[in-house]
Amino acid sequence: MNIQQLTYIVEIAKCNSISRAAEYLFVSQPALSQQIRNLEKELGYCVFRRTRKGLELTEKGNLFYQKAQKMLEDWSRFKEEVISGTEHKKLKIGLGARVYSNRLFPRIVGYFEKHPELEVTFYTEAGLDAYAAIKDGSLDMALDRMPENEIGMEKCVCFAKELIREKQCVLTAPDHPLSKKGKASILDCREYTMLTGLEHSVEDRLLRKTYGEQNITWKRVIRSDSIDTVMKMVKSGSGIAIGPQSFAEYYGVMAVPLVPARQDSLYFACLKSKKKEPEIRDFQRYLTTLVSSACPD
């Protein structure tokens, strides 16, 4: 029996599923199942039983789970104590605007407060190409959007995990004519000033893809390297923007769903070669669990 097996038991109990636990732990499902079988053979009893709702702890398994949890907490405290005063592991993390609009940032800060062994630097520069920064080593990981048509290209180098998927909307001031519509098409937007990011930014590439398919020319385009500036201009009625539904509540604007429907996603990304590093693996697993509990659908 070892610490790793205790971690496996706790994760499976939380997920009620070996397949989901295997995904969070970055191990194959057969390998995880074999580890549990080996442990149960050593213990002399079953830790889990299968039900219609998934895996559940047996009576003895529940007792083992509670003790395993305490052991892992003690192990975490032990690690913190023995590394106290030593050089901390440094992490550079890029954060996109959707991290804030989906209210994830306070939870992320809370996570790292519980890991004093990690020295974290957040990069929130407007216009930052997070995926290019990951590939050249400027960032260790990022939480940001990625155009759907670029995911396949990036995956040859990057590991990308979708966290949150949102409807794309036309973002307007509360008293804007489009705000009264139940839905809006790109054609409905062409007579208004479009507010967007700098040329060749991710925001710009997505907007070009959206309207390029219909050969639309905007009345006027105003660009900014700051999403806060763009949204302030939207709120004041200076123009409209295309963005996720979560921006509406966060920035105090209106969100009119696009038709035909379009979706955009917030991704966790890192180099494939780094995804099994404990600090990165554990943080990604935390995020996946966090958004799964917040957005069960």
Task: State the average pLDDT over residues 170-182.
Answer: 94
pLDDT value at position 296? 43
The CATH architecture to which 3-82 belongs is Orthogonal Bundle (1.10)
47 vs 127, which has greater pLDDT?
A: 47
Per DSSP, the three-state class of 163 is strand
- Banded model confidence at residue 158, pLDDT cuts 50, 70, 90: confident
Bond prior to 296 in cis (omega within 30° of 0): no
Burial 166-196 (b: 16+ CB within 10 A, else e): bebbbbbbeebebbebeebebebbeebbbbb
Which residues of the chain does CATH 1.10.10.10 include?
3-82
pTM for the model stands at 0.69
- Per the CB < 8 A criterion, the answer to whether 274 and 282 are in contact is no
| DSSP one-letter code for 150 | H
pLDDT value at position 297? 43
Q: What share of the chain is helix, strand, coil (3-state, %, to 5)?
A: 50, 25, 30
Whole-angstrom Cα distance, residue 93 to residue 108?
A: 11
Task: State the average pLDDT over residues 141-162.
Answer: 70
- Banded model confidence at residue 95, pLDDT cuts 50, 70, 90: very high
Among candidates 278, 215, 202, which has minimal Cα distance to 242? 202
pLDDT value at position 73? 84
Which residues of the chain does CATH 3.40.190.10 include?
89-164+265-294, 166-263
Please write the tens of the pLDDT for every residue from 215-274.
677 788 999 988 899 999 999 999 999 999 999 999 999 999 999 888 888 999 999 889
Q: How many residues are recorded in the chain?
A: 297
Residue corresponding to tokens 């219609």: 52
Per DSSP, the three-state class of 295 is coil
Q: Which fold has domain 166-263?
A: D-Maltodextrin-Binding Protein; domain 2 (3.40.190)
**Residue 33: which H helix or E strand, with range?**
helix 29-43
Pick the CATH number of 89-164+265-294 from 3.30.565.10, 3.40.1350.10, 2.40.70.10, 3.40.190.10: 3.40.190.10
pLDDT value at position 157? 74
Tokens in use for 149? 């048509």
Evaluate if residue 153 carries a pLDDT over 50: no
Tokens in use for 118? 């990690």
Please write the tens of the pLDDT for every residue from 24-62.
776 778 888 888 999 999 989 899 988 888 888 998 989
